Structures are given as structure tokens and as C-alpha cells.
Structure 1
Amino acid sequence: MKKAAIYKIDKWNPEREIIKIAAEAIVKGKLVAFPTETVYGLGANALDESAVRGIFSAKGRPCDNPLIVHVANVESAEKIAHTTSKALRLMERFWPGPLTLVMKAKDIVPKATRGGLETVAVRMPAHPVALALIEKSGVPIAAPSANTSGRPSPTDAGVVYDDLGCCVDVILDTGPTDVGVESTVIDVTQEKVVLLRPGGLPVEAIEEFGEEVMLPDELGAGRAEDVKRKSPGTRYRHYAPRCRVVLWREGDDWPLERDEAVGYMGIKRPPLDISEKVILFDSLEHYARGLFMAMRYLEKKGVKVIVADYPVKEGLGLAIRDRLYRASSAEFDENPHDVVK
């Protein structure tokens, strides 16, 4: 059975020989897992349909779930997408960084990469190794998170190997990622910016830049679902450990009876001593960074249920809420993506 070759690489000064090995793999149509500032991505040549299909096969990912295409500069984005003045303004302000723009695709992008859509999701990662790999490869790199589809996203190379070690050719390892949740995805093909997936860039930053952010549901029921399809991570159960996830908000009744097989994670302390398997974070930033790692840790500890603190609806809290909501079996009578205006 094939096993991935893992290369430890300096985040700030990537070794040229290692980047060359990974880039040659991309050019040959192989799969390379690499770090970004958000999570680890499973990369292939975005313009090679056969290579892209390899991503879907390795992850067990539905073929109608579009991929994000990673580029090293704005010029590369303009080669694969019809960029508008609004899109260019946002790129200039927030790239490189955890912001993905959904734009009208050019024909050069295979439909497999786009999930069969007429749009393409594009971003420029803020990570020296990712940028070096894209530049050396000479092609845009399609890359969803480097994990089995539906599982918590990987924030370190060990998780990538555990999930996909037999399917990937090369894994580049720079240690844990900085942000911990995927990029924010916005649709810039509408008159106003539409939030498709909250993520590593707070919505407030986009609004402070002067762009009003809408939710898909504000477009009307007839258009909302079509717009949501343009983003990965919005139509299927995602980010879920093998154990059940239950959401809890401070002030609510505790959702479970006392059970030694319960784990807890969040910022707020649980209202009762449920077990020793409690993971506390001291900020939203740390909660986001450790979210997926905490899920996998508690899963390995054998808990049957994870009770997760459902955080405030601001900053990175919106992205955390989204990931928890999609991973959970509980539902609240509210939209987890509601943006505080």
C-alpha cells in the first residue's frame, strides 16, 4: 500500500529542494497535502481534470462540492476568473489571507474543479510554504481540506497522514496552523457581497472596508439555495467527529444527564463537573485554532458525546458557530450565520 512521503519544512524559509519535490508532484498530476494559515489543504493541479478527480476520490467527496483554487497572486486569479472592480478591491485589501472570492469562471477551469458550476472559488493563502509551492508549480492549485470528507479539518500534518496517508503522494509539514478554521467565502457576482461561509476573516472586517454583507436567505428562497451551492462546506454534514456533538449556550439548561463518557470544549466553564475531559480556551482566536484538534482529541479519549460551548456571534465566533452547527446533531431555532449588523 502506498504511503505518503512526509517532509518537515521551514515555514518561513521553505527549503527549495523540498518545494521542488512537491511542485513536481503537482505538475505530474499527483496529490500534495500542504499547510495554509487556516488548515492543511489537499492539493492538485486545478487545471488538470484527472488530477482534480483524484482529490474527490481520495477524500470520498461528493463531485458536486466545488473546490477552492489557490493562487500566488492577483494576476493568476485574473487568468481563471472574470474579476470585477469589487473583487479586485477586496483582493488588494485582504489577500494574501483567509478570504475566498466566488467569481464567474473562465473556460480554462475544468468543471470538475468547479463542482459543475459556472463560478470558481479563488483565494491567495497567507502562508510562505503554500505560496512557494504554487509559484514553483506554475499552476493554480485546487485544495479542499486534507481530511476524509465530513471529518474535522486537519490543523497538523499528523492528522492528514492518519486520514489520507495512503492516498497522498507528498505531505509538507510545518506544524500546527495559525487560524484553525477554513477561509471565509463570499460571492462577489451579486450586486452586494453575499456571505456563503463564515471563516478565518471576520465578516466585520469586510463591512468595515465598506462592503455590505448579505446572507443568501436575503436573496429570496428561489435564489438562496443556488447561491449556497457555490461554496464548499455548505450542503453536506461537515467537520464531525465520530462521537455525537451537542451544543450548549451559557444560561441554557445542561443538555445531558451526568455521564462519564462526556467531553466538553469551549470558552465558558461547564456548569457542572462532568468529567476530566474538559478543554477550555481563553479567547475566540484560540477556540478557532484548537476547535478541530479538540474534537479529534476527545474522540480518541473515547467520549460518546462532546458538549460544545456555542460562542458569541461576533468575530471568529461566527465561524466557530458554523462549524459546530454543521458537526452537531442538535438544532437551535436560529440561523447560525446571522451577522450582527
Structure 2
Amino acid sequence: MKTYDNIVPVDFWNPDPQVIARAAALIRAGELVAFPTETVYGLGGNALDGEAVKKIYAAKGRPSDNPLILHFPSPEAVEAAAYVDARARRLMERFWPGPLTLVLPARDCVSKEARGGLTTVGCRMPDYPAALAFFSACGVPVAGPSANRSGRPSPTNARTVAEDIGSAAAMILDAGECRVGVESTVLDVSGAVPVLLRPGGVAMEELREFLGEVALPVGVNELKRSPGTRYRHYAPSVEVRVWEPGAAFAWPERFTYMGVAAAEEEPARQIRFDSFAAYAHGLFTALRELEKDGLPIVAQWPPLVGIGRALRDRISRAAGLA
């Protein structure tokens, strides 16, 4: 098995301060560092440095109008990069640290490259002690999309990061597997009514219970404020087909399968999950594993509740339906 010199192990709870200091120095020097979060691994660069951010886009092969999410060690740190109102503070108090990105009006110090040319910026505080130690040591907002080539399934472990982007990251902080497995929910709170731009680790039901009205996006002008909404994402190298239990479906002659329910036909290989939460956690890893067989992947279509909304979004994009 190939080894990668840029992978550096860190403890989830107690990362080595010297390793964290080295990683933070790389960020301040304009280099890229891949880091773990509870959702997926990110590819980090200094959000205030437009040249560093350009390296992120180049490493991923990502369109430069696709904005990046900024990562912070605390809610207070966000104030230096974005304008935070009372509603946003309440959301931070309730859901941070955690898989919720808030789209806020950006301050001028945030590079236009990190903002994708917009006046807003996505801000997040992950629920991951090693990552928070890293962000704190950096002393600058860390712009960090998922650490994979653009369009591929997002990485949930350090080795997948290395296989996708190689030496583009000067260092890859390896704290093991991510526990959520799908990216953060993106909620736009820059306007009068909050808008769910991307479903993710925090469910729509939770947001509506807390906020009341939460709208869905209308048109590309709203969608462009969030990453992962306007281009094909999460796609393996083989065709992905969507199957909903009980619905008519033309099963391929040979296929692999992933889902919670049993497939109605016999797959060549399958990955079954005990729950839709487990399905979300294992989705990207399963896509990467099953594509190795070179057969179409049939993915079970989940119900539109809880984490199922985020699963539907990622599966539909992997299948080219969105």
C-alpha cells in the first residue's frame, strides 16, 4: 500500500501542540493544510490571502465562482470576518459547534476569491476538538471546501484525501474517520427570512423548530451563495441510479447496491446500512468502494425527513439528477 509523507496523525481530543503549530504556520505562509471535521475532511487555506485561496481552487479543479466556507474556533472569531446579528448569534449558541454553516454579510478583509466574488460568506465552527485547536492556532479564518477533486465524493478519511489531491496539501492532519459523513447544512441568514441553501448534518425540522419560518431557495442567485449547489458533485466514476422501495424500477443486469432496505434483485456486491444516519455516514466511502467494481451503483432513495433530506441531495447530485 502506498504511503504518503504529508499525512500526520493527530489525536481527536489532544492534538500535539507542535504538530498544530506547524500546520498553522503553513496556513499563515500561504500553503494548504487538509484537516478533519465531524462531517468530511477539508482543504484549508488562509481566507484573507487571495493567492492561497487560488491554490485551493487549483488543487480541487473547482470553479472559482463556487464560494468557500470559512472555519473558526469560536463564535466570537467570526466577528472579524462577517457581520453577525442577533439571530445569527442565537443560531451559533444553539447549533455550534456542529454541522451548520451560516451565510452572513462578509467584511472586506475576506478575499474575493474565498467569497466567490459575492458579498456574503459561509461561516462554520466544527464539532471537532483537533480542528478547533488548528483554527485557533492559525489566527486567521481558514477557508476549507472538502479535500477532494471537484465533482468526486467527499473524503471522510486522510488516505482518501491523499489519493485525491496528493502533495497539493503541504500537510494532512489525520484524526481518523469523520463521524457524520455528509457536509454541513448551509443556512443563509443574510436576509429577512432564513433560506436553507444546502441540507446537511442539521435537519430542516430542527431549524424550523428553532426559527419558525425557513424557506427553500428560489433560483440560482440564492443557490450561488452556497457551495455544492450548482455543479455536479459527489460523483463516482460509474453510473449511479436511484431506487425507491415500492416504485417501478428497471434493475440493471449487473449492478452493485447501497442502502438500508434489501434490494429487490441480487446485486454483484452490496453495502447495507442499519439506519439512514449510518447511510449518511458511509455514503461517500461506499460510493468510492463500489465504483471499483466498474458496475452501475443502485442507491436507495431515502425518505425526505431528518438526515434523509441531505442524503437525497447528495445522491441526486451523484446520479446527475440535480
Which TM bucket (shorter chain)?
over 0.9
Query: Helix, strand or coil: the match of 1:214?
Result: coil
| Alignment pair present for 1:284 and 2:276 | yes
Q: Is the 8 A contact 1:4 1:171 kept in 2?
A: no
1:49 aligns with 2:50: yes
Displacement of 1:210: 3.0
**Any idea what the Cα deviations from partners look like across 1:81-115, whole Å, max 9, x if unmatched?**
11111111101111111000001111011110000
Q: 1:18 to 1:327 in 2, by over 3 A?
A: same
- Which structure 1 segments of 5+ residues have no match? 218-223, 332-341
Aligned to 1:325: 316
Q: Is the 8 A contact 1:192 1:211 kept in 2?
A: no
Q: Give the structure 2 partner of residue 79 of structure 1.
A: 80
State the one-letter code of the partner of 1:188. Answer: V
The match for 1:140 is 141
**Whole-Å separation in 2 of the counterparts to 1:325 and 1:281:** 19
2:209 maps to 208
Rounded to whole Å, the distance in 2 between the matches of 1:167 and 1:304 is 30
Match of 1:248 in 2: 243
How far is 1:205 from its partner? 1.1
Tell me the secondary structure at the aligned position of residue 83 of structure 1. coil
AA partner of residue 307 (structure 1): V
> What's the RMSD between the two structures over aligned residues?
1.1
2:258 maps to 1:265: yes
Equivalenced residue count is: 319
User: 1: CA distance between counterparts of 2:320 and 2:242?
Assistant: 8
Tell me the alpha carbon deviations over residues 43-86 of structure 1, each in whole angstroms, 9 at most, x when there is no partner: 01111111111000100000000000001111211111111111
Note the C-alpha offset of 1:303. Answer: 2.8
Query: Shift of residue 330 of structure 1?
Result: 4.9
Partner of 2:165: 164
* Structure 2 residue 294 is the aligned partner of structure 1 residue 311: no
State how far apart, in whole Å, the 2-side matches of 1:184 and 1:60 are: 23
Q: Determine the structure 1 residue equivalent to 2:103.
A: 102
Percent identity (aligned): 52
1:150 corresponding residue in structure 2: 151
The one-letter amino acid of 1:241's match is P
CA offset at residue 257 of structure 1? 3.2
Equivalent residues of 2:252, 2:296 under 8 A apart: no
Task: Name the CA distance, whole Å, in 2 between partners of 1:330 and 1:76.
Answer: 38
Superposed displacement of residue 196, structure 1: 0.2
Compute the TM-score of the two structures, normalised by the length of structure 1.
0.91
